Amino acid sequence: MQSQSSKAFFIEGYFMNADLFYSPRHRTFIMVYLTPFADNTIYYRYLLADKPVMPSYAGGGEDDIVENIFKYKWSNETFLYKATGGPTGRFVYSGGMSPGYFGEEDITNGGSSMLLQWTMPTGANPASTVSEYQLITARVEWE
């Protein structure tokens, strides 16, 4: 546990709505996020470990694989997906990924599929029965 006066962080950068998960297929941690710069772009970074990060149940012998997110450095920011701004053309928010959505095909279960999601304004009157916001999703396939 870090002291209350600590200024340490596990990854440097500007993030809004970050999702951090372990990918068994890639044997490392991946972070998917929007930045606060209103560019409607979803980015990712991955943990640059000097060896595959594997939990003990997968034969890796690591008792606490989460410690690795502090132990190693992270990759540079990389483009993942450009979200649409919808009919208003305004910026999206609450962007990230939904873990486990594709079952065995999901990236969090050893597969290559990822469900991205974000919220976009529709331009509808908030007092009407039509929603002012929509939740949008997109499937991304990883190598």
Tokens (6 digits) for 13: 């950068």
Per-residue model confidence (pLDDT) at position 71: 80
- Over residues 28-58, the pLDDT tens digits come to 899 999 988 888 899 999 999 888 887 666 5
Through-space distance between the first and last CA atoms of the chain, rounded to whole angstroms:
36
User: Cα(87)–Cα(8) distance, rounded to whole angstroms?
Assistant: 41
Q: What are phi and psi of 87, to 5 degrees?
A: -65, -25
The pTM score is: 0.82
Q: Is 86 left (phi over 0), alpha (psi -120 to 50) or beta?
A: left
